[in-house]
Chain A
């Protein structure tokens, strides 16, 4: 198991946003989280990237417990993420955004950066090589020096994916990779995710509403409702699971 969540719970006041959820993600798989709005999917993401602290339960990555690691250390552990409503640095260029992705690999000291000593230069060149790799992988060459503010939504989505890849993650968290994309762009996003899995060998956990994309790319799916785990299994198993159908379409509780 690359990643494990053990009996994860978080409460905001009286609301149990996530209630006793346990799951594990194998190295190299694409794991999808589905569920109606407010089911707690993004809350689980925010706990994994340590923006929220779980009320109880444990988070284990690569055999190490990281439940209490501060949020800015998560990237260095090897967990990268994207955001539901794109959180790029909009007054910077694509290249600069990707370079910030390399931030957790900075080795040069503050003083050598202030004076731009050779160690800072080496760092910069290494980061640019990494960023160029990602640019080539995602085909972002023509946007390299454009400001984010002037880019179409679909391209920004890909840039955000690229920024997460620049952290050189072992585990990638994608929060609704297809939201705001048209049918064609969603399909392309699906290909990127497959490439990330096959070519880069990165494990992916994603929150996604587009069931077509989920069935296309994911190996296993976990369905949530009201913070509770409903079903976990292959995309087909979960989609046909009676509790899941009831959560989406409604109906009588199981007798």
Chain B
């Protein structure tokens, strides 16, 4: 096991713990950059979607995993971002403006839902955000003049510096760049007072307040940042699906985002990525083995949602820290060989506050 001997404060403030980390993350980015040359369009498109969901997952992770505020209307922010991007692109705005604008408008919506729910937590907040999600979904349906309602909205192909962002590869690279940017901002949040204030609110509001954390301000900021990041994902999502339908931003999508956070691992950015991989790749995995399953099992209606539910329940029962927690334990198991002890791998029974809704 590697122990870092710290000799200066700046060592505590770097993004990577040691050079090994820097090397592996660098290698990962390099591979991701080269991947479109190796894989077919289908896989690149799917990976692009994983990135988009990872961005939205990071957004929800900051709100639910770190600040402890449940959000059952997260898809609304994705929808607002997607429609903003599509509408502004149709109006002829450049992509470099429309994408940040999607994030900005979603952030404003985040403030709009954040302020009235300041005093709520747990179930009450869940219901309020659920209602918010429904309201946004209804507005997207009924506001024909702007969103074209159920006729759908064709998303134009944007260009950056004369290069068209189109097809699976275009979305893949755009999403990769945004994901890296969002992760950088999130790491910054977590290593500065802002992130600590969020964790403080999650663990004990009353003592956070006594330490000088303005609860109203920081909860609103958490909502705004979470929504803004998800708005960016929405802008990319518009590109990914090419054709927007109002009913794609419903409660099921919100629950998918919550699944990302909980299955991935509450309270870690890695968790959001792992969760996005899980949520996007599970349906593909089912499709791959569908015809080989015995009997009619592969074609049972509702197979996919029930598998999602099963994994969520198993995860909460046996690994509350999600895939990331399991990953850390597996790593530890190899690192501590041959002197490992059973105690380090005991079943986790403590729950973070945000898990108790």
On A, residues with C-beta under 8 Å from B are 49, 51, 70-76, 80-81, 83, 87-92, 96, 99-104, 106, 108, 110, 113-116, 120-121, 123-125, 127-129, 149, 163, 167
B60 at the interface (CB under 8 A from A): no
A141 nearest CB across to chain B (Å): 12
CB atoms of B9 and A129 under 8 A apart = yes
- Indicate whether A100 sits within 8 Å of B200 (C-beta atoms), given known contacts A72-B213, A124-B191, A163-B211: yes
Interchain Cβ contacts under 8 Å between A and B, 14 examples:
A71-B210, A72-B215, A73-B212, A91-B199, A91-B352, A100-B193, A103-B200, A104-B211, A104-B212, A114-B189, A115-B188, A121-B10, A149-B350, A167-B211
CB atoms of A92 and B199 under 8 A apart = yes
- In the bound complex, residues from chain B placing their C-beta under 8 Å from that of A127 are 193
- Indicate whether A88 sits within 8 Å of B197 (C-beta atoms), given known contacts A113-B188, A113-B189, A114-B189: no
- Indicate whether A113 sits within 8 Å of B194 (C-beta atoms), given known contacts A91-B203, A125-B10, A128-B9: yes
Nearest A residue to B195 by beta-carbon distance? A113
- In the bound complex, residues from chain A placing their C-beta under 8 Å from that of B185 are 114-115
- Indicate whether A123 sits within 8 Å of B9 (C-beta atoms), given known contacts A75-B210, A87-B207, A110-B221: no
In the assembled complex, the Cα of A104 lies from the Cα of B199 at a distance in Å of: 16
In the assembled complex, the Cα of A47 lies from the Cα of B196 at a distance in Å of: 26
11 additional contacts (CB under 8 A) given A89-B203, A121-B10, A124-B9: A72-B209, A81-B210, A100-B197, A100-B213, A108-B192, A110-B221, A114-B194, A116-B188, A124-B13, A124-B191, A125-B10
Q: Which of the listed residues B212, B221, B267 has the most CB atoms from chain A within 10 Å of its own CB?
A: B212
CB atoms of B13 and A121 under 8 A apart = yes
Residue from the list B188, B191, B207 in contact with A83, Cβ < 8 A: B207
In the assembled complex, the Cα of A125 lies from the Cα of B196 at a distance in Å of: 15
- In the bound complex, residues from chain A placing their C-beta under 8 Å from that of B88 are none
CB atoms of B204 and A89 under 8 A apart = yes
- Indicate whether A124 sits within 8 Å of B192 (C-beta atoms), given known contacts A91-B203, A92-B203, A100-B197: yes
On B, residues with C-beta under 8 Å from A are 9-10, 12-13, 185, 188-189, 191-194, 196-197, 199-200, 202-204, 206-215, 221, 267, 350, 352-353
In the assembled complex, the Cα of A99 lies from the Cα of B208 at a distance in Å of: 12
CB atoms of B206 and A87 under 8 A apart = yes
- In the bound complex, residues from chain B placing their C-beta under 8 Å from that of A49 are 210
In the assembled complex, the Cα of A15 lies from the Cα of B272 at a distance in Å of: 49
- In the bound complex, residues from chain B placing their C-beta under 8 Å from that of A115 are 185, 188
Q: Which of the listed residues B188, B200, B207, B213 has the most CB atoms from chain A within 10 Å of its own CB?
A: B207
- In the bound complex, residues from chain A placing their C-beta under 8 Å from that of B207 are 83, 87-89
- Indicate whether A103 sits within 8 Å of B212 (C-beta atoms), given known contacts A113-B192, A113-B194, A149-B350: yes
- In the bound complex, residues from chain B placing their C-beta under 8 Å from that of A83 are 206-207, 210
CB atoms of B197 and A103 under 8 A apart = yes
In the assembled complex, the Cα of A73 lies from the Cα of B212 at a distance in Å of: 6
Nearest A residue to B266 by beta-carbon distance? A91
B185 nearest CB across to chain A (Å): 6
- Indicate whether A100 sits within 8 Å of B13 (C-beta atoms), given known contacts A89-B203, A124-B191: no
Residue from the list B194, B199, B208 in contact with A96, Cβ < 8 A: B199
- In the bound complex, residues from chain A placing their C-beta under 8 Å from that of B9 are 124-125, 128-129
CB atoms of A103 and B199 under 8 A apart = no
- Indicate whether A103 sits within 8 Å of B213 (C-beta atoms), given known contacts A83-B207, A87-B204, A129-B9: yes
In the assembled complex, the Cα of A106 lies from the Cα of B9 at a distance in Å of: 17
B287 nearest CB across to chain A (Å): 38
- In the bound complex, residues from chain A placing their C-beta under 8 Å from that of B197 are 100, 103
CB atoms of B212 and A99 under 8 A apart = no
Q: Which of the listed residues B204, B211, B213, B215 has the most CB atoms from chain A within 10 Å of its own CB?
A: B211
CB atoms of A103 and B192 under 8 A apart = no
Nearest A residue to B193 by beta-carbon distance? A106
In the assembled complex, the Cα of A102 lies from the Cα of B207 at a distance in Å of: 13
Residue from the list B188, B208, B221 in contact with A100, Cβ < 8 A: B208
In the assembled complex, the Cα of A169 lies from the Cα of B166 at a distance in Å of: 58
- In the bound complex, residues from chain B placing their C-beta under 8 Å from that of A125 are 9-10, 13
B274 nearest CB across to chain A (Å): 19
- In the bound complex, residues from chain A placing their C-beta under 8 Å from that of B10 are 121, 125
In the assembled complex, the Cα of A18 lies from the Cα of B297 at a distance in Å of: 69
In the assembled complex, the Cα of A92 lies from the Cα of B353 at a distance in Å of: 12
A32 nearest CB across to chain B (Å): 20
- In the bound complex, residues from chain A placing their C-beta under 8 Å from that of B194 are 110, 113-114
The 6 A-B pairs at the shortest CB distance, nearest first, are namely A104-B212, A87-B207, A75-B212, A89-B203, A113-B192, A116-B188
Nearest A residue to B187 by beta-carbon distance? A116
- Indicate whether A103 sits within 8 Å of B191 (C-beta atoms), given known contacts A75-B211, A89-B199, A124-B9: no
- In the bound complex, residues from chain B placing their C-beta under 8 Å from that of A88 are 203-204, 207
CB atoms of B192 and A116 under 8 A apart = yes
